[in-house]
Structure formats: C-alpha cells, structure tokens
Amino acid sequence: MNQPDVMTNMLAVARGEAPCDVLLKRARLLNVFTGEIEAEQAIAIFAGRFAGIGDYEEGRELVDLAGSLVAPGFIDGHIHLESTHLTPAAFASLVVPRGTMAIVADPHEIVNVKGLAGLRYMIAATHNLPISVYFMVPSCVPVSDFETSGASLSAEDIADALQLERVIGLAEMMNYPGVVQGEPETLAKLAVAHRAGVLIDGHCPGLHGHSLNAYIASGVRTDHETTKLEEGREKLRRGMFLMIREGSSEKNLEALLPLVTGHSDERCMFVSDDCSPNDLAQLGHIDHIVRKAIRLGLPATRAYALATINPARYFRLHGSGAIAPGYNADFMVLDNMEHVQIAAVYHAGRKVAEAGRPLFQPPEFDDSSMRKSLRVSNFSIERLRISANTRSARGSFPAIEIIPKQITTRKVDVKPPERDGLLWADPANDLLKLAVVERHVGTGNVGLGFVRGFGITHGAIASSVAHDSHNIVVAGASDEDMFAAVSEIIAMGGGMVAVADGQALARLPLPIAGLLSDASPNTVITAYDLLERSIRTLGCRLASPMATLSFLALPVIPELRLTDKGLVDVVNFQFLDLSTRA
C-alpha cells in the first residue's frame, strides 16, 4: 500500500467509515497535552499509527482493556548505549518491556574508538528493533588533546554524518571552553550543525554568568551535566532545556526536581545518560526515573510528560510522545500509574512485551568489524612505577578524590608512602594508585596518579571502558595486581576485571570495540553482578565502582582527571607538571 493509499484509508478509519487494524476498547487515556486522565473510550489504530479516539466500534483485532490506563511510550533524550555494555538488540530486550519506545543515542564512545564506522555500525544494528533509535553525531572526537583517542572527527566528517539515516543533530558539545573562547575548529563544527538546521546538545557542568551566556549564544540548547539547583535555575532562565539525569553513577533527580514547576516543566525532560545493565534489569530505565520522581512528589501526569511529549517536542520527533490522531502507536498499558507497573507494551500497534517480558526475538547482527580494537605497546609492570621525585612544589602529590553519586571529582594533595625511591599506594588510608594505558595506536603511553574514595584495601580493578577515549584504566592497591588486571583486559580483547593476589576474581569480556559484550543480557548481568560483588570483597564501598572508574579519565569534568598523557587540571584546562617517573 503506497503512502497516498495509507492516508486515504487512515482518514476513512478516523472518520469512522472503515475498520481499523487494532481497536482498543474501554481504554482510559493519559493525555500528556493537558495532564488529564480521559474516561473510558475506544482508540483506533491503523498502519502503526493512532487513527482516532472516541466511539469507534470496528477493528480487525479487538483488545478489551477493561478500564486500564493507556500511556505513550517513554523517550530517553540522552543515552550512551555503550554504557550498558549490551548490543542494541540486547538493550532493546531489556528496556522495551519497561516502556521505552524511543531513545536519542550519542554513540560518542564507539565513535571515539572506531570513528564513523562505529556510528554506521550502531545505525545498522538498530534496524528492525521494536524501538525507535535516533542518533546525534558526536561533536568531540577526541574530546580534547589531553588524551589519545582511536579516531578524530572534523567538521567535514560531521557534515557527512548528519546525512545518515536517523541522525538528527549534533551531540553534547563537551568542549565548552572552546565554545566560550571561540576556538575556530569548535565553531566550525557548530556552523555545520547550524547550516544543516539540526539541534545542538550541550555539556557544561558548573558554567554560569558570562561564560554561560556565550555558550548558549553559540546555539547550544540543552545541558545534562547540571547537578545543583541554582545552576539549573540559571540555565532555565537563559533559555536552555534542562535534561534531568538519573543514571547509574550520576544521580541528579532529587536535587533538580524543584525546578519542575508550572512555568518551566515544558523545558525539562528525564534522561539516563549512562546505565549499567544490572540497574536496567533491577531498577528499570526511564520508568525508574518516573517512578522516583512521583515518589519525590512530582504529580504523576507531569512526570510522564517529562518522559514522553517533552523530549519528543525538543527533538522534533513529530508523531512521537503522545496518544493522538496521526501519532505513532507506541504505548503502554498500565496496571498502576504511580508505580509505573506496565502490563503490556505496543510498538506501531503491535504487542511487543507483556508482564515484563519481551515478545520479540532480537535479530542476529555481524559485529566482526568492531572487534580486535586493542593495540597496547610495551606495557610492563615497570611502567606503573612512580618516582619519589614526582611531586608538586609543596612536596605533595595531587590526587583525584571521588565524590559519591557524582562524576565530578575534587583535587586533593596527598603524601603517598615512599619506599626504595618510589611512591606507593596507601590502601589503609584509602589511597590507590591509578593508571591509564593507551590502547588505540600503540604509543606506549601510561598516565599515572592516585585516587581516593574507592575504599579498596587490596587487589585492583581495570576496564577498557574509560570515558571518553576508552583507553585502559586501572586502580589498585599494588602494582602487581594492577599489572595483572591490565594483562587480563588485553587478553580478553577488552572488558572489565577485578583482581586479587594476581588472580582474576571476576571478569566481563567486552570484545566489541572494548565496550560491548556479544553475550545475552542475562549472561552480561550475571557477570557484571559477580564483578561488583567481587569488588566489594576488596573493600570497595561505592555503589557503582566500575562506572565511577570509567569516568576518572574524562578530562572535561572538573576538577582533576588522569589520561594516558598525564594528570589534567580540568578547571584550568592544563596538564599538571608531574612527569618524572622511575
């Protein structure tokens, strides 16, 4: 049936003159336009879209909802799929039963490893899934010159990528100093987006005053890095859309929820940003955020709007985010609205999940082009040694201090134990050694530092997931265990591991770009759970230790970070002069 025929028949159904494909009888309707719960009526679906709402009677398939509430499917306006460590198909099997019907993905992680080939892989891997996946082109590959990345995207590359299917904008502009200072290369990327007429997402933690004005004046329209109430208020006042984030390691919902008022709520939306597979399985996805927002006092109808129509409007996803004539028939049947208990999920009018279980089989997909991504050169335990001469002018050593439940860190001065002319970890005082090993082009770079806040008393943990360039990051109480952990990562071709006494306690192989598993969700979840339980036996007290570890190499989030090239003072955007090694 061609498009004119579809429209002709759709209108006939809407007029009540022809039967629909699916007729939902006795359905109550959550109206996200008005905040109402409409009384029982019929909803007609034709060709995967809603044709009409009212007193319809004829349908080829009849579904009697007996007064159950129907709500539009959830939309996640900002997520890095790679953070789940699942293939897109495996991810869909977890979140679709939770009511997620669309996501706006920033494939920043895999593009930093594999370039535009990584973006094309993600686009192809999201075909034929019962979830709409849209993409933003990563704006900062690499995120900065402070680290070694596996790829680089120029303004011309971004222009080409914006022509790909389901690509709808420029992803988070992480180089906010470059925007504010008017760096030509950064402005060229923004200019490409402006010429294409697409949206530009932001990333500006703590930015305010004149600098914030300059950032917004460049055309950036959102921020998901806001952590404080007054910071969010200023951004809303200056016209930004506020993405309220509640992920595995970044939890900002409770702090920012007071900003969702009758005057600003249409400029707010819920996003997850980064989610572990275990959190998706145990807590949920956007449904978890909506549930928590309601529990914290946000009216339920408003909470659902922030997860449906608000992101649809911002991202210009016309026909998504609501139940109305002509809109996509992506919806949930709810047993309980406040607790977000979902009885069934429909995609394009077809039931795809029921009672928390997917009713679809994820298709197989060839990921061979994304494998064999580790090229580590000249790594040895000696590369982990830090000379006792490596100190600041005050005789101390700058260390990263973790802030629980946030990805921002503090810069603190410490005095590690000295022995045999070397500096060592001090686990008794919660001070671990930290290293970042370059894994893309074989430079042999190893950045060294210290970190406080894990609580680990022995052993080491390591990962090839290290935002944003995804070199190998390792933290440990001894050089020997750190070396063993990195060696395990290399042997797996990417992944995560916990080590004690030179032996792996638990591991999660991630052979696809060193970021994703090729295993089933249950296998990944089981392995990830064992990994986190093993890390707790090492003394770790963080809720999400691997997620926290992965952000310690991100040189655009204040205050202090470590990359393969050295310690980065993010506040002043410069390396610290501590280059002496054993």
Q: Is the pLDDT of residue 132 over 90?
A: yes
What are the residue ranges spanned by the domains of the chain? 3-67, 73-322, 370-575
474 vs 483: CA distance, rounded Å: 9
Cross-strand pairs, 436: 447, 473
Q: What is the pLDDT of residues 39-48, one digit of tens each?
A: 999 999 999 9
Bridge partner residues of 116 (DSSP) = none
Tell me the C-alpha to C-alpha distance, in Å, between residue 532 and each of 274, 280, 484: 17, 15, 18
Topology adopted by domain 3-67? Urease, subunit C; domain 1 (2.30.40)
* Distance of alpha carbon 576 from the chain centroid: 29
Contact (CB, 8 A) for 287 and 251: no
Distances (CA, A) of 383 to 373, 482, 565: 22, 11, 13
Peptide bond into 21 cis (omega under 30): no
pLDDT digits (tens, 9 = 90+) for 141-156: 998 889 999 999 999 9
**Sheet bearing 268-271, strands edge to edge:** 222-223, 241-245, 268-271
Architecture of the domain made up of 73-322: Alpha-Beta Barrel (3.20)
pLDDT number for residue 362: 80
What rounded mean pLDDT belongs to the chain? 95
- Helix 88-95 to helix 521-537 angle (10° resolution) is 90
Q: Which segment of 387-396, 404-413, 472-481 scores lowest on mean pLDDT?
A: 387-396
Q: Do the domains at 3-67 and 73-322 have one common CATH topology?
A: no
Give residue 118's pLDDT. Answer: 97
- For the cut 60, the answer to whether the pLDDT of residue 580 exceeds it is no
Distance (Å, whole) CA 268 – CA 245: 10
* pLDDT at 304 > cutoff 70: yes
pLDDT the model gives residue 392: 61
In angstroms, the CA 449 to CA 413 distance is: 11
pLDDT tier at 366, thresholds 50, 70, 90:
confident
pLDDT digits (tens, 9 = 90+) for 542-557: 988 998 999 999 998 8
Residue count of the chain, please give it.
Answer: 582
**What confidence score (pLDDT) does residue 582 get?**
43
> Are 497 and 461 a contacting pair, CB within 8 Å?
yes
Compute the distance between CA of residue 226 and CA of residue 220 in angstroms, rounded to an integer: 15
Point out the least confidently predicted range of 157-171, 302-316, 386-400: 386-400
